[in-house]
Amino acid sequence: MKWKSIGVAGYLLVVVAVQGAPMNVVFILADDLGWADTTLYGKTSLYETPNLERLAKRGMVFTHAYSASPLCSPTRASILTGQTPARTGITAPNCHLPKVELKASVNAKAPAGNKSLQCESATRLDTALPTLGKLVKAKGYATAHFGKWHLGPEPYSPLEHGFDIDIPHWPGPGPAGSYVAPWKFKDFKENHLKEHIEDRMAEEAVKWMQKTGKGGKPFFMNYWMFSVHAPFDAKQELIDEYRKKINPSDPQRSPTYAAMIHSMDDAVGSLLDAIDAAGIAGNTAIIFTSDNGGNMYNEIDDTTPTSNFPLRGGKATMFEGGIRVPCVVVWPGITKPGSQCDDIIQSTDFYPTILDLLKIPMPKDHVVDGIDMTPALRGGKVERKEGIITFFPHAPAVPDWLPPAVAIHVGDWKLIRLFYQGENRNHGYLLYNLAEDLGEQHDLSGQYPERVATMDRMIEDYLHQANAVVPQPNPAFDPAQYHPEKIGVQAGKHKASDKTAESNAVDGWIASGTCSIKPGDGVLAIDSTGEDPFVVVQKLKSLAGGPFTLRLKMKSSAAGEAMVYYGKPAVLARTVGFPAESDGIWHEYRVELPTQTLNGLRIDPARGVGHIEIDWIRLEDASKTTLKVWEF
């Protein structure tokens, strides 16, 4: 049966679908791409996304699309299961850690200044769940996953969740080492030096589509991009181009981040070109969205990676900037080209919608939190009886952070419950009318107590029926150590005086973020009290002869991926992650720093509460000559 696409020069304006033919599905998920990071909503004058605009002309743009979480792994699980993080138990991006936990739990302790005990996330997506990959594969679809997964290594990889292939088969939170080759994927090598990972992922996806098309089977493909997550690097020629366009007064002013978005958009264009060239645009549905809002807490090019203005906050916050995301859905025969929908949708809704449109029955005994949004795709309204729930029982110290919380959107209204932040162990609340206050500057909870009570009952009813593991009151809470003025303030952003810094230094290293340090018995002892512990070396003399290798011997009881930041002393913008063990046993680590000169250095040894000891740290140049040693 022949399919026909009507358009000009590859820019499809109308896609004509032949009734009864099987529909392919391409699900494109960007990583950390904010609502204001594309040209779809008219909120950027720097970033260029012509291929996303090209995609939008084929289908429907959603103006009020939300991720199920302000962080990546929980949203990814929600797409594959149709369930919120409150139900899956995956509430934090820790699925690359060695410890296997299929259920969430509550931390046994918290600092005395915290009113609540935070939750501990599950670390794997349970293979017993009927994920989208499994369901479509059972219906005869060829399936593939390209790019980031971050829901667990084998035996919890895409291969165990219904996908025939997984490239590059990488369990980490971002690309291995860098976007531009050489990479450090375990079993996936670059074709040439300076190859961009998104170019390669698009190439691999296109080759698979072409091969699958010849086999005659319909296909379901995840292209879950690494872009635009840290580490922040890009093609140098694009960085140079965008540097010419920077407006210093624009909050979006990172040429590196703009170049990253450019490559991301190019990859979308490569997929569209291949679909058009194969003549399958009429029977290929395409979904594009992001896993959470834009990153406003790292630093690059002497600024934050992006700005989500006019939204408040960003990635890892419960404000709109952390959870409102771009979204385009193209479903031939269903969506009207160039259309727009202003109804609220959430990432949980893709699961029932895809199954309905592919005529695949919903699995028995699997509760789904999302709703079928097909009526909206047809030009009608989203038939949602209740609001959408965003569950985030954590408090990473980023700008605009909040204590552990859960939120509900009902129409124009949004209520955030702050667990046990009120008086006498009651919850605290923030209420916003987003139609009148998109930037969430005016808390109306005191003016509308009845509305707060009604929406909070909806939250409570949902958490109960979802059997959610929720934060609990901190039995060790000490009001004298409670500092509400620090809520919303990013830890480590206030410079200590030289005198204070020197008094707290250990062999030139000072503590910042959510930790303290002290000299131990020949070690640097670090006590982490939150989710953002890090140590910074003072007055590092500029080193040449890179790329460099950082080696260290460390043991830790604090969970979470470790990171090394490097760059200028005031702006440590480059990052390299490494998987640090939290088993309390000594391990030696080696981290490659792809820079020719080194002027500043910071180590984030974990992302959680616990005790950490570092025995020694060494820096080597490209010839493996030791340049600097800290023995403590």
Mind giving me the DSSP string for 323-363?
Answer: HEE-EEEE-TTTSPTTEEEEEEEEGGGHHHHHHHHTT-PPP
For residue 350, is pLDDT > 80?
yes
Identify whether residues 28 and 146 lie together within a single domain. Answer: yes
Q: Inform me whether the pLDDT recorded for 498 exceeds 70.
A: no
Question: Residue 9 above 50 pLDDT?
Answer: no
More confident of the two residues 143 and 559: 143
Write out the residue range of the structural domain in which residue 438 sits.
390-484
State what percent of residues in the chain have pLDDT above 70: 94
Handedness of CA 151, 153, 154, 159 (dihedral sign): positive
Residues 504-508, mean pLDDT to the nearest whole number: 81
**Mean of pLDDT values over 14-36:** 84
In this structure, are 361 and 460 located in the same domain? no
Model confidence over 232-275: pLDDT tens digits?
A: 999 999 999 999 999 999 999 999 999 999 999 999 999 999 99
pLDDT of residue 10: 39
Contact 105/120 with Cβ under 8 angstroms? yes
Provide the domain count of the chain.
3
Distance between the two ends of the chain, CA-based, in angstroms? 72
Give whole-number Cα distances, 585 to 607, 611, 612, in Å: 17, 12, 10
346, 353 Cβ separation under 8 angstroms:
no
* Number of other CB atoms surrounding residue 462 within 10 Å: 20
Q: What phi and psi, each to the nearest 5 degrees, are found at residue 232? A: -90, 100
pLDDT for 571 equals 53
pTM listed for this prediction: 0.81
**Residue-level pLDDT at 494:** 41
Residues 195, 54, single domain; the answer is yes
Indicate the residue among 384, 405, 438 that finishes a domain.
384
Cα distances (Å, whole numbers) of residue 632 to 444, 486, 585, 613: 52, 32, 18, 11
Query: Which of the four pLDDT bands, split at 50, 70 and 90, describes residue 572?
Result: low
Which is more confident, 1 or 139?
139
**pLDDT (mean) for 212-229:** 93
Decide if 493 is inside a domain.
no
How much is the pLDDT for 579? 86
For the chain, give the mean pLDDT.
91
In 371-409, which positions are buried (b, 16+ CB within 10 angstroms) versus exposed (e)?
bbbbebbeeeebebeebbbbbbbbbbbbbbbbbbbbbbb
- pLDDT confidence of residue 236: 96
CA distance 307 to 59: 27
Q: How far apart are CA 151 and CA 172, in angstroms?
A: 9
Q: Which of 336, 351, 384 is the last residue of a domain?
A: 384
Decide if pLDDT at 78 tops 90: yes
168 and 241, same domain (yes or no) = yes
Q: Amino acid identity of 255? A: P
620 lies in some domain: yes
Q: Are residues 286 and 326 in the same domain?
A: yes
Min mean pLDDT across 100-114, 414-428, 571-585 is at 571-585
Answer left, alpha or beta for residue 545, where phi above 0 means left and psi between -120 and 50 means alpha. Answer: left
Q: Are residues 311 and 432 in the same domain?
A: no
> How far is C-alpha 277 from the chain's CA centre?
32
| Between 566 and 57, the higher pLDDT residue | 57
Measured CA distances, 429 to 352, 415, 459 (Å): 31, 7, 12
| Mean pLDDT for the stretch of residues 14-24 | 68
Six-digit token string for 156: 């919890």
109 lies in a domain?
no
Do 46 and 258 meet the contact criterion of CB atoms below 8 Å apart?
yes
Residue 6 pLDDT class (50, 70, 90 cuts): very low
Picking from 484, 513, 533, the residue at the C-terminal end of a domain is 484
pLDDT of residue 521: 84
Query: Which value, to the nearest 10 degrees, does the dihedral of the CA atoms of residues 50, 53, 58, 64 take?
Result: 150
pLDDT-based confidence at 575, cuts 50/70/90?
confident
pLDDT at 512: 77
CA atoms lying within 13 Å on the CB side of residue 40: 32
Segment of 16-20, 96-100, 170-174, 291-295 carrying the highest mean pLDDT? 291-295
Tell whether the model's pLDDT for residue 491 goes beyond 70: no
- CATH (domain of 574): 2.60.120.430
Based on the fold, state whether residues 330 and 403 are members of the same structural domain. Answer: no
- For residue 34, the model assigns a pLDDT of 98
In a domain, 435, yes or no: yes
Does residue 15 lie in a domain region? no
pLDDT band per the 50, 70, 90 thresholds, residue 15? low
Asked if the structure places residue 249 within a domain, the reply is yes
Distance CA 490, CA 313 (A): 11
Does 479 share its domain with 535? no
Predicted confidence at residue 19, as pLDDT, reads 58
Is there a single domain that holds both residue 399 and residue 346?
Answer: no
- In 3D space, the residue among 448, 475, 592, 618 whose CA is nearest the CA of residue 537 turns out to be 618
179-188 contacts at long range (C-beta below 8 A, 24 or more positions apart): 179/226, 179/227, 179/231, 179/233, 179/234, 179/260, 179/263, 180/233, 180/234, 180/235, 184/592
Name the residue among 497, 625, 603, 494 with its Cα closest to residue 540. 603
Q: Are residues 257 and 278 in the same domain?
A: yes
Q: Which residue has the higher pLDDT, 609 or 523?
A: 523
Same domain as 549, residue 455: no
In this structure, the answer to whether residues 511 and 579 fall within a common structural domain is yes
Q: Examine residue 145 and state whether it is found in any structural domain, yes or no.
A: yes
**Per-residue pLDDT at 290:** 98
Q: Is residue 119 part of a domain?
A: no
Q: Is the pLDDT of residue 17 over 90?
A: no
pLDDT band at 20 (very low <50, low <70, confident <90, very high): low
